[in-house]
Amino acid sequence: MVKEEGRILHLKGNKKKKEKKRKIQSLVLFRSGQEKGAQRNRAKILAKRMAQTISYITGSQLLPLKRLPNIAIIDVRDDERSYDGHIAGSLHYASGTFTDKISNLIQDVKGKDTLVFHCALSQVRGPTCARRLAYHLEEMKEDTGIKNILVLERGFNGWEASGRPVCRCTDIPCKGETA
Q: Report the catalytic residues.
A: 119
Which SS3 state, helix, strand or coil, does residue 141 take?
A: coil
- Residues 28 and 42: their CA atoms lie apart, in Å, by 21
With a CB cutoff of 8 Å and minimum separation 6, the contacts of 77 are 84, 92, 94, 95, 118, 119, 120, 125, 156
Q: Which alpha helices (DSSP H) does 54-68 contain, by range? A: 59-65
Length of the chain: 179
What 3-state class would DSSP assign to 133?
Answer: helix
